[in-house]
Chains A and B, each alone.
Chain A
Amino acid sequence: MKKSNVVKFAPQFAALALLGCVSVHAMADQLADIKQKGELVCGVLGTDEPFSFIKDQSSREIVGYEVDLCNDVAKSIGVKPVLKQLAVAARIPELQQGRVDLLAASLTHNHEREALIDFSLSTFITGQKVMVKKSSGVNQLTSLAGKKVLTVKGSSMEQNTKKALPTAEIVSFDNSPQAFLALQQGKGIGYVNDETSLLDNYSKLGAAAKDYTILPQSISTEHLAFGLKKGEPAFHDQINKVLHNLEVSGEADKLFMKWFGPSTNMHFQQRTFKIATDKID
């Protein structure tokens, strides 16, 4: 009799034990944790120029706009920044499971994701657009109905494309350069990405750039932000304080010019947004 009771309740015990582990784990303050282990682990993509990418084959280091921002956060806490490369679809699970402290991974701030994680002040604001080959004859979004459109698995591009072009056939890859490669090879008619990434891709086409065009209409406006775990007010404040100070000191503008300004592939003349808010429309 007794034995069967134990067996019957075993799953509950296991669940209880599991719950115990989880709650003990969550009680510690993440900012204190980071200080204690002496490093801030930033999740980056490493494949999205100029946000995070490998610039120089001799050093093979990941650099970029978001990497610089992440370094600033680490510096303010007084710890070493550690970069961890993530797949697009793995970003939120990696953060939720605590494998990274901070997502600096071209992450779009949207309402669906607010239920899962917290966002910092928006670090970049851009529109998502579609690149097509001129030879396809497509010159507006509506002509893409029923056509093959290339995106990235688990990205906001994928979700937005589904909304904006419900009849398009969506094919998704593990990262955006692969989707771009598929466009060049003609494996799809349109390729969706943030405008900045599209401009960067466009510049890399070299002489072939004349055969491509970016459709003028945006499928959505994207607020990129750092992602962090829910319920970490101290860490959240720390990050926002750093971002705010960068904006006030004019450092944010310099960073923008370093990665997006006239001397880069992006050729932006000026910044059209400020790092000021975490509100999205």
Chain B
Amino acid sequence: MYNFNLSVLLSGQYHDWLVAGLLLSIKLALLTLIFSLPMALLIAVLRLSPVSIFRAAAIAYVESIRNVPLLAHMLFWYFGAPEILPEPVKAWLYERNVEAASSVIALVLYTSAYMAEDIRSGIRSIPKEQMEAGRALGFGFLDTMRLVILPQSLRLTIPPLISQMLNLWKNTSIAMVIGVGEMMYQAQQVESASFRSYEAFSFATAAYLSISLLITLLSSWYQQRYPVRSA
């Protein structure tokens, strides 16, 4: 019968591997978040812009990214895309941590496409007249957006953005396919080095769940603290 040995997880080299994995997962998620938020905002605004080329480009971006699994994005950005770069850039990149860089690129593109849609629907919930009034007062499209529409839509947009954060946190696990030493990769490493699969996967599951729980709590705290005002 399998005997579950908790001590493997609490100290020693396997413990160190797992903790290193957890920390890298958190880093990946935070880094992605920092880059995806402005990117998502840009795309959401483009999608609502009065210029049709901008709108089309934003739609193409969102649809082409959301309809392809993250795994395929990862494989493409790691194995495929860098090959197109000129030789010196490639050499420079490959001397650094290209695994982590490719995974962050894939995660940022993927996450920002989803976040852009959430921001857009938040903006659309603000009555059209607001934009018209802003424009009539002599503000440009961007200024009206920045000063009038976005601040109002924030309350409605934050909860779905937090739930995208949860998805992002879970999605970091897919980076294991391109050799990024995050949580899932390290759990598998421990499993194949020590054959202690249940311990390794329990650790990883507990780690994923704890952070997910934190994000969920953040979301319910926000919704209680800043409830959506009905017009």
Q: Are A171 and B83 in contact (CB under 8 A)?
A: no
Stretch at the interface among B50-58, B156-164, B189-197, B215-223: B189-197
CB distance from B225 to the nearest CB of A (A): 40
Q: Are B1 and A15 in contact (CB under 8 A)?
A: yes
The count of chain B contact residues (Cβ–Cβ below 8 Å) is: 19
Asked if B91 CB lies within 8 Å of chain A CBs, one says: yes
Q: Are B188 and A89 in contact (CB under 8 A)?
A: yes
With known contacts A22-B1, A185-B83, A187-B94, A154–B177 Cβ distance under 8 A: no
Q: Are B192 and A185 in contact (CB under 8 A)?
A: no
A38 to B78, CA, bound (A): 44
B-facing residues in A223-252 (Cβ within 8 Å): none
Q: Are A116 and B1 in contact (CB under 8 A)?
A: no
Q: Are A93 and B179 in contact (CB under 8 A)?
A: no
One digit per residue, 1 when the CB lies within 8 angstroms of any chain B CB and 0 when it does not, for chain A 1-16 equals: 0000000000000010
Note all chain B residues with C-beta closer than 8 A to A89.
188, 191-192
Q: Are A154 and B192 in contact (CB under 8 A)?
A: yes
Asked if B65 CB lies within 8 Å of chain A CBs, one says: no
Asked if B124 CB lies within 8 Å of chain A CBs, one says: no
With known contacts A19-B1, A181-B79, A185-B94, A171–B192 Cβ distance under 8 A: no
Question: What are 28 of the A-B contact pairs (CB < 8 Å)?
Answer: A22-B1, A89-B188, A89-B191, A89-B192, A92-B192, A92-B195, A116-B195, A153-B192, A154-B191, A158-B192, A159-B193, A171-B99, A171-B179, A172-B179, A172-B189, A173-B178, A173-B179, A174-B177, A181-B79, A182-B79, A182-B179, A185-B82, A185-B83, A185-B90, A186-B91, A186-B94, A187-B98, A187-B99
Since A92-B192, A185-B79 are in contact, a sample of 12 more A-B pairs with Cβ atoms closer than 8 Å, ordered by chain A residue number, is A22-B1, A89-B191, A116-B195, A153-B188, A153-B192, A159-B193, A173-B178, A174-B177, A178-B79, A181-B79, A185-B83, A186-B90
Q: Are A93 and B197 in contact (CB under 8 A)?
A: yes
- Residues of chain B at the chain A interface (Cβ within 8 Å): 1, 79, 82-83, 90-91, 94, 98-99, 177-179, 188-189, 191-193, 195, 197
B-facing residues in A182-204 (Cβ within 8 Å): 182, 185-187
One digit per residue, 1 when the CB lies within 8 angstroms of any chain B CB and 0 when it does not, for chain A 79-102 equals: 000000000010011000000000
- Residues of chain A at the chain B interface (Cβ within 8 Å): 15, 18-19, 22, 89, 92-93, 116, 153-154, 158-159, 171-174, 178, 181-182, 185-187
Q: Are A154 and B188 in contact (CB under 8 A)?
A: yes
CB distance from A152 to the nearest CB of B (A): 10
Note all chain A residues with C-beta closer than 8 A to B192.
89, 92, 153-154, 158
The chain B residue sitting closest to A19, CB to CB, is: B1
The chain B residue sitting closest to A88, CB to CB, is: B192
A178 to B80, CA, bound (A): 12
Note all chain A residues with C-beta closer than 8 A to B83.
185
The chain B residue sitting closest to A155, CB to CB, is: B192
A182 to B83, CA, bound (A): 11
The chain B residue sitting closest to A151, CB to CB, is: B179
The chain A residue sitting closest to B91, CB to CB, is: A186
